[in-house]
Amino acid sequence: MNQRVLSKSNVNMNLLLIVVWFVVAGAQGSSGQAQSSAGSDGQHTASPLPKFEVASIRPLDMNHMDRVREIGAFYIYPGGRTIAKGCPVLYLISLAFNLRTFQISGGPKWVSDALYDIEAKAPENSSLSKSNPGNPRNPPSEEERQMLQSLLIDRFQLKYHFESKEGSIYVLLKGANALKLRPPKDKNTFPWSGGIERGGIYRGTGIAGENVSISQLATNLSEYFKRPVLDQSGIQGSFDFEYETGNDDPEADIQSSIIASLNGIGLKLKSAEGTVETIVIDYVERPSAN
């Protein structure tokens, strides 16, 4: 999702749009658990993490946000060229470790507020340099996630540790109503789910999706319930769907609206207990110069 920034005052809303875009684009599995072999101090304990060959990091001037065209944009181009536009460190950590933002804690306030532009290129001997993603917004590969981890460790001096505990989760299941999922009109379009207005953010008016799997939908929903949502529907493939609640109240309760909309397309959420994986930021600093 590319979001134009009109003024400094709407940065927080745009950061919410970042989250919505990430949880769809970054959905690699139903659990949202990080796949990393880094140690508890944020340093790799086995083979070294792969690194970008070159990386340029530029902080954005928060006093001139009206000049910023995009925030929360993360693109992967053929040949291992990676572009991030207006990304907070919290978002970069989310991408690097394949976690949702509510699974990240610690760190100073600026990890959520300060925005950075990054341009990086993978080394020629990496598999990433030979990649040709069909869509620049496709989620990062495991190799690219590890390169992003290296960049955070080397340039932002990131130190962290993982924690795992039992907690409340949701499971997404088939409901009592008939499924209202259609085969996608375009199997090559970017997988997307969000509000019925197709603006990305869920509202009280309903939900919609295009070429999105139920697993990706579940991961998307986790941000709105602030707990993992695991797909246990058994439904395979990707789908288009749309459901209107008939409620135009802008103050409508979002969680209740989502639950009603899921019931409308033949799905349901069920509370459960499960393992919640988190990452704790022990130390981070503003990036070193290019």
Quote the CA–CA distance of 189 and 192 in Å, as a whole number.
9
Largest alpha-carbon pair distance within the chain? 57
Regarding whether 155 and 29 lie in a shared domain, the answer is yes
The pLDDT, as a whole number, for residue 79 is 86
Residue 140 has which token pair? 């990062």
- Counting Cα atoms < 13 Å in the Cβ hemisphere of 148 gives 31
Residue 158 sits in the same domain as residue 35: yes
Check whether residue 147 and residue 240 sit in a common domain.
no
pLDDT at site 24: 39
Structural domain boundaries enclosing 110 = 8-163
Domain boundary residue among 163, 192, 216?
Answer: 163
Q: How many domains does the chain contain in total? A: 2
Residue-by-residue pLDDT tens, the chain, 290 positions? 333 333 343 444 344 344 434 433 343 333 333 333 344 444 544 578 999 999 999 998 766 666 667 778 898 898 889 999 999 999 999 999 999 889 999 999 999 999 999 999 999 988 888 888 777 777 888 999 999 999 999 999 999 999 999 999 999 999 999 999 999 999 888 888 998 887 667 888 899 999 999 999 999 899 889 999 999 999 999 999 999 988 877 678 889 999 999 999 999 999 999 999 999 999 999 997 77
Looking at the fold, whether 41 and 133 belong to one and the same domain comes out as yes
Residue 3 lies in a domain: no
Q: Which position has the token pair 């932002």?
A: 156
Q: Is 123 helix (H, G, I), strand (E, B) or coil?
A: coil
Do 22 and 104 have their domain in common?
yes
Closest by alpha carbon to 17, among 8, 27, 5?
5
In a domain, 15, yes or no: yes
What one-character-per-residue DSSP string does 213-273 give? EHHHHHHHHHHHHTS-EEE-S---SEEEEEEE-S---TTS-HHHHHHHHHHHTTEEEEEEE
